[in-house]
Structure 1
Amino acid sequence: MADPASITGRASIVDGDTIEIQGRRIRLNGVDAPETRQLCRDEKGATYRCGKTSADALDTFLASSRPTTCRILRHDRYRRLVGSCTRADGAEVAAWMVRNGHALDWPQYSRGAYAAEEAAAKKNRIGVWRGAFDPPWQWRKRSHR
Structure 2
Amino acid sequence: MKIPQLLSAAAAVIVSILSSYSSLAAEAIVGRASVVDGDTIEIRSQRIRLHGVDAPESWQLCGDGDGGSYRCGREAAIALERFLAASRPARCKIIERDRYGRFVATCFRADGREINRWLVANGNAVDWEKYSGGHYADVQEAARSKGVGIWRGKFQLPCEARAAHTRREPSC
Q: Which runs of 5+ in 2 are unaligned?
A: 1-19, 168-172
- 2 CA distance for matches of 1:125 and 1:118? 10
Q: Is 1:76 aligned to residue 98 of structure 2?
A: yes
Report the 3-state secondary structure (helix = DSSP H, G, I; strand = E; otherwise coil) of the residue aligned with 1:79: coil
**Counterpart position of 1:127:** 149
Q: Is 1:54 aligned to residue 76 of structure 2?
A: yes
Q: Which runs of 5+ in 1 are unaligned?
A: none
**Counterpart position of 2:59:** 37
Alignment root-mean-square deviation, CA: 1.2
Describe the superposition over 1:70-99 as per-residue Cα deviations: whole angstroms up to 9, x where unpaired. Answer: 011101121111001000000000100000
* TM-score normalised per structure 2: 0.81
More helix by share: 2
- 1 CA distance for matches of 2:97 and 2:137? 23
Alignment of 1:1-145 (within 5 A): 5-144=27-166
Report the 3-state secondary structure (helix = DSSP H, G, I; strand = E; otherwise coil) of the residue aligned with 1:91: coil
Alignment size in residue pairs: 144
* TM-score normalised per structure 1: 0.96
Which of the pair has the greater relative contact order for Cα pairs under 8 Å at 6+ separation? 1
Structure 1 residue ranges, 4+ long, deviating more than 2 angstroms after superposition: none
Return the letter of the residue paired with 1:82: V
Return the letter of the residue paired with 2:52: G
How much identity, in percent, do the aligned residues show?
Answer: 53
